[in-house]
Amino acid sequence: MELPSDLINELKKEIKPYNLSALIGDEGDEVVKRCLEKAMVWLKAKLRTYGKDVDLTHPVIKQALLKRTLYELYSYAENEEIARDKAKDAVELLRAEFGTSIEGEGFSGKGQPVVYVIPGKPDWRGFKE
């Protein structure tokens, strides 16, 4: 998946250099790129709820991508508490812009019923008084 080259630089503006260095260690921009790719997959899946494509010219979508990438970076470094905050920020941005169904609320599947009820028979011998 080809991402715009400026995204890595924009992401670096969202985090202090010493924090980024602590998160990625000696592995460098390859870690950042992989985190961006994972965040893009997540964002595509979330926006699919609305029938939307990832449009990085849309400021909310772009910021949600950056927040989710920060989640991936902190998660990569096993800093789960901060990672959860970043994931929550990304979801809140999308929810504010597109509505609550970003988390699947209100989704109604199409298909066959899971349960089928038939009338009882008078000659059935269970649980009778």
Cα–Cα nearest to 76, from 20, 125, 126, 117: 20
Record the pTM. Answer: 0.72
Q: How many domains is the chain partitioned into structurally? A: 1
CA–CA dist 87, 125 (Å, integer)? 55
Question: Quick one: DSSP state of residue 58?
Answer: S
In a domain, 14, yes or no: yes
pLDDT in tens, 14-35: 888 888 888 888 888 888 889 9
| Domain span including residue 77 | 6-102
Q: 3-state DSSP call for residue 9?
A: helix
In this model, does residue 116 exceed pLDDT 50? yes
Contact 103, 112 (CB under 8 A): no
In a domain, 44, yes or no: yes
Contact 68, 87 (CB under 8 A): yes
In a domain, 79, yes or no: yes
In a domain, 87, yes or no: yes
pLDDT in tens, 55-105: 888 999 999 999 999 999 888 888 888 888 899 999 998 988 887 766 554
In a domain, 122, yes or no: no
